[in-house]
Each structure stands twice: as structure tokens, then as C-alpha cells.
Amino acid sequence: MSNRRRKRGESKPQAHDAGDTTPIDNILTSLDDAPPPPPPPRRELPLLQLNDHQEADDADASSSSSPHQQRRLWVKDRSRAWWELCSSADYPEADFRRAFRMSRPTFHFLCDALAAAVAKEDTALRAAIPVRQRVAVCVWRLATGEPLRVVSKRFGLGISTCHKLILEVCSAIRNLLMPRFLHWPDHPTSTAYKTRFEATSGVPGVVGAMYTTHIPIIAPKVSVAAYLNRRHTERNHKTSYSITLQGVVGPDGTFTDVCIGWPGSMSDEQVLRKSALHQRASAAAGSMSWVVGGASYPLTEWMLVPYAQRNLTWTQHAFNEKVGEVRRVATEAFVRLKGRWACLQKRTEVKLQDLPAVLAACCVLHNICETRGEDMDPDLRCDLPPDEEDDTVLVQSESANKVRDDIAHNLLHRGLAGTAFF
């Protein structure tokens, strides 16, 4: 019986299959003595492979089950059809100008000037974004003011990549092109500016016209009250925060000096005092070179401003009329600046500490476009808010006050004052 108990010392019976005549011990021994089977052939695979959607060949199908699997870097597939269309030679010039606010030759000039600073090399992970696409991302964002998610969809790049490209290109424009295209005029250029301003207004010794505008921003996390723009808040009945952009413009409508980034709660006179121009001009006072400003600026030995008190004389009216013609050169430049680069009209996603580079890039691009004779669509023009009005002007120099009276007297008696005040 199979279930009976074995006696002590009795050996254990060995079971065998019906057709098996080989002892188990012999089977184990034969398996131990047999040579191991050869391993399957293995492929040398790259460590990482980008967007390789091709299937392996049938001959390599067996290697895909190898424990050494190929590692892949996942990248979202985005459409770049719009940019490929814009960059093609068949794309209409009018559409290109409408998208980038400049002609194709000026865009190519900009790319060539920035190539050394913004070009990147291909890496093992990905191919580098071409220089023209990098510059196009930045210029289109500045021109349209569209949010980064729209820029991302338009150019087929990630949002963070677009943000990084915009800051890199703006920094390159400020560092490389600003010294070439935005600087204070030298002596021969200043002389030419004085001649042109006097020919159009009759006011002698003018080298530039000044204007200060505000750029809207998102409420900062620190020092909120300092950036509160009270004038805009009262006018629009909506809380507004801003930073200031002060600029001096030559007779050709290009910027010769800018001061960027002071909080929006500061007055025009306070921003002027903080500017590097104030330090340079004050040191060179008495050179008979004037910068014309509005009534929100002080009258100094180098800053010429209109009369602001009530009950003006004919002579003072005549002077204000001519000074207003000079100031219109500056306001027109800011109208074109803000109209051409619509990002200056909207609250931006750029951090506060990065905004000076973006605003400086806009000013440099404005000068490049104006210098190269780029036309601007009249529909892009924007309205500037009214100037700060004050019944009194801060007179910081009595000698400058006397010179202003002399200029006003000469304008009237030389028949250069016009008749708008009659």
C-alpha cells in the first residue's frame, strides 16, 4: 500500500514516469555537464535618441526584448508651419512687415548683427534653434504683445523656451546694438541737430526733446505702493501699476538717451533727477545746449521748458507755441515706439527685474527701423495720455530764466512766433 508508513532505515522509493527509464540523478548530471546555449546577438544602441518614430527592422525585432532597452527623450510634437511659411522666400513682403514691424532686409540685418551672441550649437539631446527663428520669436513677441502661450503655438516651441529666447535676444540687443544705435550725439552731430531744430522752430541751441511715458506692469510682490500710478488710476478708475521710460529724441525721431525702470509713482521731475543724463548735463552746464521738456520738468541751465503760469503775455505765448513744436518731435517718437512695439501697451509677463532689457531692446529696434526708413502702418498708432499739468514750473536757475525770456523776445520780434495765440 502506498500510504503505509516506512520502517526506520528503509530507503525512500523512487517514482518514475511511465515512459521514462532515465534516473533523475542522471538527468541532473547531464544538464550540469551540458554547455550553456549561446546568448542572442546584441545591438549597440545610442544612449538617447530624439523623436525616433521609425520601427526597428524585422531582423532586429528579437533584440528589442533585450534587457538593454533603448532610452528615449520625449518631446512634444508641435507644429512650426506658420514660421516655416513666414521664413520662406515666397511669403509676401507686406505680410512679413505686418507680422514683424520691419521689412525682410532689416530683419536679416538684425539677425546678422546678433548671430554671434545668440547662436547655439547642436547637442546630443537636440538640434539648436536657428538664429533667425530665435530673433523672430523675440521680435514677434515685442511687436504683438501676445502672451507666451500664443507665441509658443505660433513658433512650435515650448513656453519656457520662448520666454528664455525673448530675454536672451533682448539682452543681446541691449549689450551689442545699443552702443551703436542709441547714444548721445557727438559734437558734429549735436551741431547738426541744433541747426535742424532751429530751422523748424526758431529756438536756438536745441539738441533734443524729452518725454516720459509709463509702461503698465502687473502689481509687484514688493514695494507695491512705489509702483502705483496715481494719475492713470484716477483717470481710468482702475488700479494701475507702472514703471517709467524717459527718453530724449533727436530731430530725426530717434532716441539719443533713455532712462528706464523707475517706479510709476515718481513724477517726471523725480525721474529726471535720478537719470544719468541729469548728472552729465549738470556737469556740462553753460554749453548753450538745450533739451526741451514739458511743464512737468524743471527749468535748469540745460533744460528748457514752457511758461506755465496763468495770464501769459504775447511773448510767452509765442515761446510756448514754438517749444511745443519741438516737443511734438518727442511725443511723435513715443507714439511710433508704442505703436510699433505693442508689448509696451500691455501688462507683460516679464519679471520686473528683466523689464529694463526688454524696454531698451524696443528703443534700439525703434532706432534701427527709423534709421533704415521703415514705414509704420498708421493703424498701429496709439494715443499717449495727457501731460502732467501744473500752474507753476520749478525754476532752478535764474540765469536760465533770463535766457528763456531773451529767446522768447527774439522769437516774437523776429516774426518766428506764429499767430496761434492771437
Whole-number Cα distances in Å, 364 to 139, 179, 320: 12, 9, 31
The secondary element (H helix, E strand) that includes residue 241 is strand 241-249
For the chain, give percent helix, strand, coil, nearest 5.
Answer: 50, 10, 40
pLDDT at position 39 over 90: no
Reported as a single tens digit per residue, the pLDDT across 42-85 is 544 443 343 444 444 444 444 444 444 444 555 566 788 999 99
Flag the least confident range among 79-83, 205-209, 287-291.
287-291
- C-alpha span between 267 and 23 (Å, rounded): 105
Task: Give the right CATH number for 81-180 from 1.10.287, 1.20.950, 1.10.472, 2.40.128.
Answer: 1.10.472
How many other β-carbons are positioned within 10 Å of the β-carbon of residue 285? 15
User: Do 116 and 148 meet the contact criterion of CB atoms below 8 Å apart?
Assistant: no
Say whether pLDDT at 156 is over 60.
yes
What stretch of H or E contains 361? helix 355-371
Q: Would you state the pLDDT for residue 148?
A: 95
For 384-393, the pLDDT digits (tens) are: 877 665 556 6
Structure-model confidence comparison of residues 31 and 200, the more confident one: 200
In angstroms, how far apart are the furthest CA atoms of the chain? 145
386 and 234 Cβ atoms separated by less than 8 Å: no
* Domain spans in the chain, listed from the N-terminal domain onward: 81-180, 184-413
Phi-psi region of 9 (alpha: psi -120 to 50; beta: other; left: phi over 0): left
Give the position of cell 519741438.
326
What confidence tens digit (pLDDT) does each residue in 331-387 have? 999 999 999 999 999 998 899 999 999 999 999 999 999 999 999 999 998 888 776
C-alpha cell at 121: 550649437
Q: pLDDT digit string (tens) for 186-202?
A: 999 999 999 999 999 99
Q: Quote the CA–CA distance of 6 and 174 in Å, as a whole number.
A: 99
Q: Give the three-state DSSP class for 10.
A: coil
Q: How far is it, in rounded angstroms, from Cα 128 to Cα 248?
A: 39
Contact between 63 and 40 (Cβ < 8 Å): yes
Q: What's the confidence (pLDDT) of residue 388?
A: 62
If you average pLDDT over residues 139-145, what whole number do you get?
97
Task: Give the model's pLDDT for residue 389.
Answer: 58
CA separation for the pair 117, 278 (Å, rounded): 32
**Whether residue 213 has pLDDT greater than 90:** yes
pLDDT of residue 231: 87
User: Which pLDDT band, with edges at 50, 70 and 90, does 25 fall under?
Assistant: very low
**102, 374 in Cβ contact below 8 A?**
yes
Q: Which one-letter amino acid corresponds to residue 172? A: A
pLDDT reading at 13 higher than 90: no
Instruction: Encode pLDDT of 239-249 as tens digits.
Output: 999 999 999 99
CA 354/CA 344 separation, integer angstroms? 14
Backbone angles phi, psi at 356, to 5 degrees: -55, -40
The per-residue b/e assignment along 32-65, b for 16 or more CB within 10 angstroms, e otherwise, is: eeeeeeeeeeeeeeeeeeeeeeeeeeeeeeebee
Kindly tell me if the per-residue pLDDT of 41 is higher than 90: no
Residue 383's pLDDT is what?
84
Q: Which residue has the higher pLDDT, 106 or 289?
A: 106
* Average pLDDT score over residue span 199-211: 95
Please calculate the CA angle 404-407-412 and round it to the nearest 5 degrees. Answer: 130
pLDDT at 50: 38
Mean model confidence pLDDT for the chain: 83
| pLDDT at residue number 36 | 58
- Residue written as grid cell 532712462: 259
**Number of helical H runs and strand E runs in the chain:** 15, 7
Q: Which helix (H) or strand (E) holds 321?
A: helix 314-340
Total Cβ atoms within 10 A of residue 334: 21
Percent of the chain clearing pLDDT 70 (strictly above): 77
Of the two residues 33 and 105, the one the predictor is more confident about is 105
Q: In this predicted structure, what is the pLDDT of residue 65? A: 44
Q: Where are the beta strands (DSSP E) in 274-366?
A: 290-292, 303-304
pLDDT band at 23 (very low <50, low <70, confident <90, very high): very low
What pTM was estimated for this model as a whole? Answer: 0.79
